[in-house]
């Protein structure tokens, strides 16, 4: 990851890039470049040793013109106010491109969860839930999982919120486990949209996915599910990596075995005899048909972009390319499926979860996956139609043209208050 590239500035330059093609007033665009509000709070909890420890946490509510703020909460030592602001903006345009009636938000705690016990993490999470309580609610702001958080944390937040509010309101948060009101298909949804959009892009570009070679950088929930599903579609996953490094096998890796190895040892490295070990940078610059960056922001900067050899990139992570890298890849004719579409499956199934929670009526996994596929394919078609209509070279700009237009329309219909 490149230090020094501010993701909030990246978001703003992506918006400017698209706004140049739209007839929307600068005053409205200015509004669409900034969060409505950001909570910054300090959580103090008792550690297992009986000491007190403080953690800084944020929640950015970027925009609710199209519906309640929506977006995950990440636990990571690199969380910052600007990162959370950027991520909340990306959520706003993500919910808009897939056309679900939600806005954008994001939260984060500056913490390395590996350094704390489960009991300590529960205290940190419940403390954050208490701080979030006045801001969240099924019609206000609906958090979800993100980097290093999952069902466990969502269940704690739901439980804390419901206890304090003396109610049952499972739709206050999504990404819960099934017993706590979660949806079938939610865990796989982010990786699923990453591969569905890759399939659509290959089809659009007249390329064959069957036998195509794939490299996946990052082997958390999004990356490993994408690897598993693309393998099932007939592509060959030749390389995967995590923060400890990467592995390469020209004749193909078994994504499930690599995941099992990571579960046992903490890393994908060393799962199979005879594989070659690579760095994350090597994985990102392999000569493959499809590259899936599935870790953090700024994984590919301008320099690294020069060496990227993939034909198609499907961004499972949020913000994996710096704007300069994006420009370089555009010149090199790499088809980049932007994060706000490629990883939108997660929030789309979060939307289904919220709908099910509100109706107290639950869907089958088959229904979830079918409805997800329809939404993602429609959004991809809207992106391609805009790419061609505006004669654009960069699919990201096309995605933002569609998304910004939708958010601006809702804002302009409603006007300002007071
Ligand atoms: N954290 C995920 C994202 O970046 C999911 C958000 C959600 O489900 O609300 O899209």
CATH classification number, 189-342, choose in 3.40.50.720, 1.10.3720.10, 3.40.50.300, 1.10.8.10: 3.40.50.720
CATH 3.40.50.10860 holds for 35-171? yes
Secondary structure (3-state) at 261: helix
> Ligand 1, from 68, 144, 157, 356: best to mutate by most atoms within 8 Å of Cβ?
144
184/98 Cα distance (integer angstroms): 20
Whether 2 shows a pLDDT value over 60: the answer reads: no
Whether 1 shows a pLDDT value over 90: the answer reads: no
Whether 273 shows a pLDDT value over 80: the answer reads: no
320 lines ligand 1 (CB under 6 A): no
315/321 Cα distance (integer angstroms): 9
Mean pLDDT of the 81-108 span: 98
Q: Whose CA is nearest to atom 9 of ligand 1?
A: 71
Secondary structure (3-state) at 235: coil
Angle at 87 between CA 83 and CA 88, to 5 degrees: 115
Digit-coded pLDDT (tens) for 350-376: 999 999 999 999 999 999 999 999 999
Whether 99 shows a pLDDT value over 50: the answer reads: yes
More confident residue, 186 or 273: 186
345 lines ligand 1 (CB under 6 A): no
Of 14, 193, 173, 196, residue with least CA distance to 93: 14
258/264 Cα distance (integer angstroms): 10
Which atom of ligand 1 is the closest one to the Cα of 344? 10
Secondary structure (3-state) at 248: strand
Q: How far is the CA of 269 from the centre of ligand 1 (A)?
A: 28
Other CB atoms within 10 Å distance of the CB of residue 272: 13
Whether 221 shows a pLDDT value over 70: the answer reads: yes
Q: How far is the CA of 242 from the centre of ligand 1 (A)?
A: 20
Of 212, 206, 207, 268, residue with least CA distance to 238: 212
Digit-coded pLDDT (tens) for 240-252: 999 999 999 999 9
Per the CB < 8 A criterion, the answer to whether 193 and 226 are in contact is no
More confident residue, 277 or 322: 322
60 lines ligand 1 (CB under 6 A): no
pLDDT of residue 304: 97
146 lines ligand 1 (CB under 6 A): yes
User: To the nearest whole number, what is the mean pLDDT of the chain?
Assistant: 96
Which atom of ligand 1 is the closest one to the Cα of 87? 4
174 lines ligand 1 (CB under 6 A): yes
Q: How far is the CA of 144 from the centre of ligand 1 (A)?
A: 6
Residue 278's region, left for phi above 0, alpha for psi from -120 to 50, else beta, is beta
Please state the domain extents for the chain: 35-171, 189-342
330 lines ligand 1 (CB under 6 A): no
Buried (b) or exposed (e) across 8-35, using 16+ Cβ within 10 A? bebbbebbebbbebeebeeeebebbbeb
129/365 Cα distance (integer angstroms): 29
Spatial strand order of the sheet with 69-76 comes to 37-46, 52-63, 104-110, 69-76, 141-145
- Both structure tokens of 295: 């870790």
Q: Which pLDDT band, with edges at 50, 70 and 90, does 275 fall under?
A: confident
pLDDT of residue 416: 78
pLDDT of residue 123: 98
Q: How far is the CA of 277 from the centre of ligand 1 (A)?
A: 31
Of 9, 160, 101, 152, residue with least CA distance to 347: 101
Q: Which pLDDT band, with edges at 50, 70 and 90, does 136 fall under?
A: very high
DSSP 166: T
DSSP string, 26-68: HHHHHHTTS-SEEEEEEEEEE-TTS-EEEEEEEEEEEE-TTSS
Q: How far is the CA of 151 from the centre of ligand 1 (A)?
A: 13
Q: Which residues form the catalytic set? A: 106
Mean pLDDT of the 377-384 span: 98
340 lines ligand 1 (CB under 6 A): no
Of 111, 110, 170, 100, residue with least CA distance to 142: 170
pLDDT of residue 69: 98
Secondary structure (3-state) at 368: helix
Whether 264 shows a pLDDT value over 70: the answer reads: yes
Digit-coded pLDDT (tens) for 108-134: 999 999 999 999 999 999 999 999 999
71 lines ligand 1 (CB under 6 A): yes
Record the pTM. 0.97
Mean pLDDT of the 209-230 span: 97
């Amino acid at each position: 990851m490149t230090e020094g590239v501010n993701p909030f500035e990246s978001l703003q330059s992506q918006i400017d890039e698209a706004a140049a093609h739209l007839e929307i007033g600068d005053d409205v665009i200015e509004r669409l470049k900034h969060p409505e509000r950001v909570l910054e709070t300090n959580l103090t909890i008792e550690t297992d040793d009986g000491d007190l420890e403080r953690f800084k946490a944020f929640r950015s509510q970027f925009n609710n013109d199209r519906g309640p703020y929506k977006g995950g909460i990440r636990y990571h030592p690199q969380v910052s106010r600007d990162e959370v602001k950027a991520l909340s903006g990306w959520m706003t345009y993500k919910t808009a491109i897939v056309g679900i009636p939600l806005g954008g938000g994001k939260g984060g705690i500056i913490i390395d969860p590996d350094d704390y016990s489960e009991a300590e993490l529960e205290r940190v999470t419940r403390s954050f839930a208490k701080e979030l309580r006045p801001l969240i609610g099924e019609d206000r702001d609906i958090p979800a999982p993100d980097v290093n958080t999952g069902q466990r944390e969502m269940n704690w937040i739901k439980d804390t919120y419901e206890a304090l509010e003396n109610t049952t309101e499972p739709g206050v948060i999504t990404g819960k486990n099934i017993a706590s009101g979660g949806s079938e298909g939610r865990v796989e949804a982010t990786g699923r949209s990453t591969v569905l959009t890759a399939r659509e892009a290959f089809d659009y570009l007249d390329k064959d996915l069957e036998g195509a070679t794939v490299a996946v950088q990052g082997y958390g929930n999004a990356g490993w599910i994408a690897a598993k599903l693309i393998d099932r579609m007939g592509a060959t996953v030749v390389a995967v990596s995590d923060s400890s490094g990467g592995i390469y096998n020209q004749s193909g890796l078994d994504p499930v075995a690599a995941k099992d190895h990571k579960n046992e040892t903490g890393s994908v490295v060393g799962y199979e005899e005879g594989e070659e070990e690579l760095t994350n940078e090597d994985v990102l610059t392999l000569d493959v048909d499809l590259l899936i960056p599935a870790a953090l922001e700024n994984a590919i900067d301008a320099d690294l972009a020069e060496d990227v050899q993939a034909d198609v990139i499907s961004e499972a992570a949020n913000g994996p390319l710096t704007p300069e890298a994006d420009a370089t890849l555009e010149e090199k004719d790499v088809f980049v499926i932007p994060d706000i579409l490629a990883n939108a499956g997660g929030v789309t199934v979060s939307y289904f979860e919220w709908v099910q929670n509100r109706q107290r009526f639950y869907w089958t996994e088959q229904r979830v996956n079918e409805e997800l596929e329809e939404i993602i394919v429609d959004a991809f078609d809207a992106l391609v139609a805009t790419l061609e209509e505006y004669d654009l070279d960069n699919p990201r700009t096309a995605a933002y043209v569609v998304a910004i237009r939708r958010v601006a329309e809702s804002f302009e219909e409603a006007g300002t208050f007071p």
